[in-house]
Structure 1
Amino acid sequence: MSLAEVEARERRAQARGLYRALEVLRGDMARRAGETLEHWDALILRPEFMASARNLADYLALRRGDLVPFQAPLASLGLSSLGRAESHVRASVDAVLASLALIGGEGAAEYPPVEIFAAGPARLAARRDHLFGARRGAPATRVMVTLPSDAAEGPELIGALLAAGADCLRINSAHDGPEAWAAMIGHARRIGAELGRRVPVQVDLAGPKLRIEAAHGADVRLQVGESFDFVETLAPGRKKARKHDRVQATLSHPALMAAMAEGAAVWINDGKLRARVTEVVPGRVSCEVTSTPGKGARIRPEKGVNLPGVDLRVPALTEDDLGALDFALRHADIIGFSFVQSGADLRALFAAIEERMPGRPPQDWPALMLKIETPLGLRNLPGLIVEAGGRMPVGVMIARGDLAVEIGFERLTEIQEEILWLCEAAEVPVVWATQVLEGLVKEGQASRAEMTDAAMSQRAECVMLNKGPHLAEGVAVLRDVLMRMDRHSNKKSPRLGALGLWHDL
């Protein structure tokens, strides 16, 4: 027997072994996905979302195990390693099984119809256009812009943003008020009509503000090793800390103090001041500073407080949000739901909408943007997507600012990838948000790291820029980066166009 014949026999044996192992994995995937769908079935009121939920269930079942041992052997046979299966999970597995059967001599292969592989991406693209607008000649990834207060004063700023390449606009209801919001939306509608474009507007509900409420010693810069206290009530009659007095602060939500335990981490002002809980007694929690900028950090009212890794059971919908919801239901295309963590949060929002729109079916409601910014919301994300998407158009915003503080900056790097994969499997559009081109928008010059981050954002369906004096310039640069990246990649898949830079070699 020749060497070529020996190698061919080994290849057939390898293919048969892979076929049997992958067939077992496929059966386990189908069983688990079926059980998940039974649990989700009552939540899916929109028939058009059923295929998406089915693919998401397949993806979650497939990714329960470790696929790494399959990937190199499959690639050595010239087959898909399943690394880009998000939008067509079961069809991808079935196509690999069919090829393994052919290579291994197991009989005729039955491949899935080609149309299955295009259906998921087509649904995702249609949902992207529904949420963020459709434009010819634009990047596949849309650009969302957070409007500053002066956007209400006249149409010029919004006109400049749309001319620079913005596709949709965002209003944060934590700032300004209904009169200013209405003026911004009015400008957007008029300019969009003049341009012959639909310009969707998202109005974000602010959610609970987990913050320092009041402080004694807010002018004191704390250094590493120094201590301060959270208390239920500040001592009366003293606003400034005297020498050797400990800084004290009260918190906006009792749940914050109740969740603190000895040894736990506390981050203030997006982590600029980091501390460790050293003592918990009735009415007081003592903390020791573990990290600050070189000049130290102050504990001031209105600064945010985070407890990394701790699940805070705080309702996402506040009384202030209900007022903003009244406005959003009349004027917005998308409602941004901040701090959403559970199905109970979703059901509270649905009940509030139904109360305000009696008899109106969910297809008449604005779309919903799930802002994922806590560990609990992250863990519950598949169920949140299904419960929301089963009722109304839905998107997911990776709120990288709060999320990074909650789960750790290092872990954010992998979690933002996993959210992108999960949402692609669910055929749900994603917004890549927080500090995109921050230096350029605020200071007029982007760092190299920011440009790389902007390029990476092309894998999402939309990228959000925050407000700043150079916002229009930021929009134009981001659009250019996205157009360039569209030449080279689509989600996780590289596009192998000609590399003109080295053609003369």
Structure 2
Amino acid sequence: MEYELDLLKSSLESLEGEMVAEVNRRSHQVEEIHPRQIPSWKNLLHYMVLRREDRRDLQLGLHNAGLSALSNSESHVRYQVQAIRRRLGEFYEEAEIATCTYPKSREILEENVSVMFGSQNSKTPSIMVTLDSQNGSDAAHLAKLMQEGMGVARINLAHESEAEWRAILDALKKAEKISEKTCKIYMDLAGPKIRTEFLGKQAGEKQLKISEGALIFLAGSREGFEEKKQVVISPTEVSILPFLKEGERVLIDDGKIQGIIESKGPGTSVGIRILKIFKKKPTIKQGKGINFPDSQLKIDPLTDYDLGVLPFAVKEADLIGYSFVNRPRDLAHLVEEMRNISGEIPPVILKIETALAVKNLPALLIEGMKLPHIGVMIARGDLAVEVGFERMSEVQDEIMWICEAAHAPVIWATQVMESLQKSGLATRAEITDASKAALAECIMINKGPHTSAVLQSLRDIIDRMGAHRDKKRYTFRALKIATRFLTK
């Protein structure tokens, strides 16, 4: 038993030493980190060190010794390690004890949640409702939604116009007076959504026939293609074509059509061999999304359209959602453009919807920590296509853990109680999904005819689950995101 305790003492000493060393290695970053974000910055680095290696043997040893197994320590990692070491007889001078305690981490998170979502209690998620000109122009209706639980209103700037957005904002102001409640305004930038576009004589078609095993092409034009019946599709962002390489996957229509880049075609075009079609009718339709989960697409997520609507968003929004953000420099560019518009800018929500964004999440959060507040949206639609539906549950958890370590509020989005919203009847799977969503700080629902029913069901689920748990216990196998981040 003494040998086992000595081994635990040695392992914990080594672990804490690694945490301190990593913060010192990156000490050059601290000058750019916003002062209120420094505890979060340090804790995120500590958590990355913890998750760099498989720690399950350490956890088991701690558990067997009747000590904390670090399972719920994401928000205050080093302090928890020190608390265990003190239990094992280690002495610390007061100045050596980590200041990011569990109460301090809750205080930081609750302040972030309050600023972003208007809620004073980070244990009770806010609910975000998507609005457009059809469901967002009636002040009495919006007041009812606020009374039923809507705390954040979402306006998607990819659709409609400034006149329609202003009408929604006017109705929300009236609704706040009627309901005597407040509602935060969240606005989504459109980003470079890559969709199918037909070319030449096929441009007038609504859909094109394909088959498994067929070779189709992605190209900027039909130039160089002699066969008239050859299926040639243009991605709406043709600038991606030079970055596509043989062997990389291509997913069309939310993954219903799966292919692989097999060859180069004329110019910058690429040939895609269709591997699987998960549709009753083997066709490609106009305007369907295209995902490239294996490709390193070096395109700016801040489009010309986004730059055009950005002044409106900076002036009117409480929160701005950054679509298809992938790299720290993407966020730096957006912040620069916003500061060119105004000295005071709203907090940014990083929409994590690509495999690359997941991989770069720690670095994105650290870039975001140059601002006083940063948040994350798990945009599960495109993200599920990119990482694979079978991995989505695991990836959701990884994002939640890392954001917990960074004290960054999380929005759980896409298809939340969608059947209930559309038909008035929820599926069993949706109820289970909603109970998992209650672990986030905000839950986003889409527009539909049964919004009141969704709000009532969500509020009931949130209240019930909040009484059962705060966080769930997990074991710490090595996390690839941490390993990649710390080797840079």
Q: Taking structure 2 as the reference length, what is the TM-score of the superposition?
A: 0.89
Structure 2 counterpart of 1:489: 469
Q: Say yes or no: does 1:436 pair with 2:416.
A: yes
Structure 2 counterpart of 1:34: 24
Amino acid at match of 1:175: H
1: CA distance, partners of 2:441 / 2:313: 23
Structure 2 counterpart of 1:145: 129
* Deviation for aligned residue 1:252: 1.5
1: CA distance, partners of 2:92 / 2:385: 54
Q: Name which structure has the greater RCO, CA cutoff 8 Å, separation 6+.
A: 2
Gaps of 5+ in 2: 475-488
Superposition misfits of 4+ residues, deviation over 4 angstroms: 106-115
* Deviation for aligned residue 1:156: 3.7
1: CA distance, partners of 2:101 / 2:136: 46
Structure 2 counterpart of 1:341: 326
Pick from 332, 336, 352 the counterpart of residue 372 of structure 1.
Answer: 352
2: CA distance, partners of 1:139 / 1:70: 29
Structure 1 counterpart of 2:240: 256
* Deviation for aligned residue 1:347: 2.1
Pick from 286, 292, 301 the counterpart of residue 271 of structure 2.
Answer: 286
CA contact (8 A) 2:78 2:98 kept: no
* Deviation for aligned residue 1:294: 4.0
Amino acid at match of 1:96: I
CA contact (8 A) 2:79 2:99 kept: no
1: CA distance, partners of 2:320 / 2:111: 19
CA contact (8 A) 1:276 1:288 kept: yes
Between 1:419-428 and 1:342-351, the stretch displaced more is 342-351
2: CA distance, partners of 1:58 / 1:306: 33
Structure 2 counterpart of 1:246: 230
Q: Say yes or no: does 1:65 pair with 2:49.
A: no
2: CA distance, partners of 1:418 / 1:429: 14
Offset from partner CA, 1:4-49 (integer Å, 9 cap, x none) = xxxxxx2x3322221122111211221112213x1421321x2111
Q: Say yes or no: does 1:208 pair with 2:192.
A: yes
Amino acid at match of 2:112: R
CA contact (8 A) 1:230 1:248 kept: yes
Offset from partner CA, 1:35-73 (integer Å, 9 cap, x none) = 13x1421321x2111111111111112221221111111
Structure 2 counterpart of 1:474: 454
CA contact (8 A) 1:368 1:392 kept: no
1: CA distance, partners of 2:208 / 2:355: 32
2: CA distance, partners of 1:53 / 1:107: 26
Offset from partner CA, 1:115-147 (integer Å, 9 cap, x none) = 8221101210221121111268x9711111111
CA contact (8 A) 1:274 1:290 kept: yes
2: CA distance, partners of 1:414 / 1:439: 24
Q: 1:60 to 1:113 in 2, by over 3 A?
A: closer
CA contact (8 A) 1:455 1:482 kept: yes
* Deviation for aligned residue 1:457: 0.8
Q: Say yes or no: does 1:21 pair with 2:15.
A: no
Structure 2 counterpart of 1:192: 176
Between 1:299-308 and 1:48-57, the stretch displaced more is 299-308
Amino acid at match of 2:399: I
2: CA distance, partners of 1:342 / 1:457: 26
Query: After the TM superposition, which residues 23-172 of structure 1 pair with which residues of structure 2 at under 5 Å, given as runs?
Result: 23-36=13-26, 38-44=27-33, 46-101=34-89, 116-134=101-119, 140-172=124-156
Query: After the TM superposition, which residues 270-281 of structure 1 pair with which residues of structure 2 at under 5 Å, given as runs?
Result: 270-281=254-265
1: CA distance, partners of 2:239 / 2:291: 12
2: CA distance, partners of 1:107 / 1:62: 22
1: CA distance, partners of 2:421 / 2:87: 50
1: CA distance, partners of 2:416 / 2:4: 46
Structure 1 counterpart of 2:376: 396
2: CA distance, partners of 1:161 / 1:199: 10
State, as a whole percentage, how many aligned pairs show the same letter. Answer: 36
Structure 1 counterpart of 2:441: 461
* Deviation for aligned residue 1:380: 2.1
Offset from partner CA, 1:64-83 (integer Å, 9 cap, x none) = 12211111111112111011
1: CA distance, partners of 2:383 / 2:317: 25
Q: 1:42 to 1:213 in 2, by over 3 A?
A: farther
* Deviation for aligned residue 1:114: 9.9
Q: 1:311 to 1:107 in 2, by over 3 A?
A: closer
* Deviation for aligned residue 1:297: 4.0
1: CA distance, partners of 2:25 / 2:435: 38
Pick from 309, 316, 336 the counterpart of residue 324 of structure 1.
Answer: 309
Q: 1:92 to 1:310 in 2, by over 3 A?
A: same
Structure 2 counterpart of 1:307: 292
Aligned length in residues: 467
2: CA distance, partners of 1:340 / 1:231: 24
Pick from 201, 209, 212 the counterpart of residue 224 of structure 1.
Answer: 212
| SS in structure 1 at match of 2:457 | helix
2: CA distance, partners of 1:267 / 1:115: 43
Amino acid at match of 2:75: S
Q: Say yes or no: does 1:354 pair with 2:344.
A: no
1: CA distance, partners of 2:220 / 2:164: 36
Amino acid at match of 1:328: A
Aligned CA RMSD, in angstroms, stands at: 2.6
Q: 1:380 to 1:113 in 2, by over 3 A?
A: closer
Q: 1:480 to 1:22 in 2, by over 3 A?
A: same
Gaps of 5+ in 1: 1-9, 495-505
Structure 2 counterpart of 1:3: none
CA contact (8 A) 1:152 1:180 kept: no
CA contact (8 A) 1:459 1:492 kept: no
Offset from partner CA, 1:330-373 (integer Å, 9 cap, x none) = 1110011111122221222122112212xx2xxx3211111111
1: CA distance, partners of 2:91 / 2:187: 57
Amino acid at match of 1:355: N
| SS in structure 2 at match of 1:140 | coil
2: CA distance, partners of 1:339 / 1:440: 28
The structure with more radius of gyration? 1
* Deviation for aligned residue 1:491: 2.7
